[in-house]
Amino acid sequence: MRYVRSFVGFWWDFIVGDDWRVAAGVAAGLAVTAVFQVWWLLPPVVAIVLFASLRRAARA
Amino acid sequence: MTGTLLSGIGAFLASAVEMVEALTIVLGVGVVRGWRSTLIGVAAAAVVLAALIAVFGAALGSIPIETLRLVVGALLLVFGLQWLRKAILRSSGYKALHDEDEAFREQRAAAAAAGDVQRAGMDWYSFTVSFKGVLLEGLEVVFIVISFGAGQGRFGPAIAGAALAVVLVLVAGVVVRGPLERVPENTIKFVVGLMLTSFGCFWAAEGAGVDWPGDELSLIGVIAFFAAVSWAFVQALRRRRLGTPVTA
């Protein structure tokens, strides 16, 4: 069990990193994009998610 | 064509910057403790990394391209945002810049302080540190090569870009005989972060069913958009930092 947890923890840290809210924001942005089917939606959503994450890092 | 060329360049830059960091670790250990076990560790890690590309590359080939682009694009986007976020924080002074010379000195000191661990004619400290260093730095390259190859539907350009970077860094390391501290690592990481984020955004949206205007040519627009946004974020954070203390 310990190895499974370490394995999952490693990949989580490798891909998601410091701020899980970035991954959550991307998932939400993709879901909205899939519903509305417009190409211009995802880039600004990603920019907003990035901005929010940077603001949190700067405050910390 | 645009996507193929850009994915080759992206893999080249990502591989170059990660290999510069791996070279620092290998040099730090090899110079202090000898080269035999260190280089065996490097070779073992290279075999594992090549096997990962072969296994995952072959396995991903059987998945439909739309599904693959959605999953790989989303993962690449999240992964790329990590790189971009760190690069923006470094450029704006909120995070310390990576210094290869300092990393080299730390690695040498650790290698000199470590005890003698000789068994079966091998220095296991040298083997373990070089194996782990190359494997962990290389794992990011493998992830990028697999993502670019899977998203593109062909692995050739990404593998060629990454392999070329490995050869160039190795040759530079042999010529310089020291860490490559003059390589503008932080700038390269910024560019790689931009490319990973842009490719991830492009493929993930495509996988979600969206048609980009101009198809792959849109990638240039997406990269330009994230470059402009990142530049604006760096400026905003720099202005903000003037009133707050810097933390490394």
Q: Report the range out of B8-22, B103-117, B146-160 with the highest average pLDDT.
A: B8-22
Residue with tokens 């990973």: B196
Asked if the Cβ–Cβ distance from A26 to B78 is below 8 Å, we say yes
**Whole-angstrom distance, CA of residue B215 vs CA of residue B211:** 7
ipTM metric: 0.91
**Whole-angstrom distance, CA of residue B50 vs CA of residue B58:** 12
Give how far Cα B26 sits from Cα of B60, B68, B180, B194, B230, Å. Answer: 32, 35, 12, 28, 33
Residue B248: the pLDDT is 43
Contact B19, B191 (CB under 8 A): no
Domain map (residue ranges) of chain A? 18-59
Condensed to tens digits (0 to 9), the pLDDT of residues B217-244 reads 899 999 999 999 999 999 999 998 877 5
Chain B residues within 8 A of A33 when measuring between CB atoms: 204-205, 208, 210
Asked if the Cβ–Cβ distance from B94 to A22 is below 8 Å, we say no
Contact B159, B149 (CB under 8 A): yes
Residue B199 pLDDT class (50, 70, 90 cuts)? very high
Interface of B with A (CB under 8 A): 70, 74-75, 77-79, 81-82, 84-85, 88-89, 92, 94, 139-140, 143, 197, 201, 204-205, 208-213, 218, 222, 225-226, 229-230, 233, 237, 240-241, 244
Q: At what angle do helices B65-91 and A20-36 cross, to 10 degrees?
A: 140
**Nearest C-alpha in A relative to B239:** A58
Of A41, A42, A54, the CB nearest to B233: A54
- Provide the H-helix boundaries in B114-155: 124-152
Average confidence score pLDDT of chain B: 86
Domain map (residue ranges) of chain B? 2-241
Whether chain B has a CB inside 8 Å of the CB on A9: the answer is no
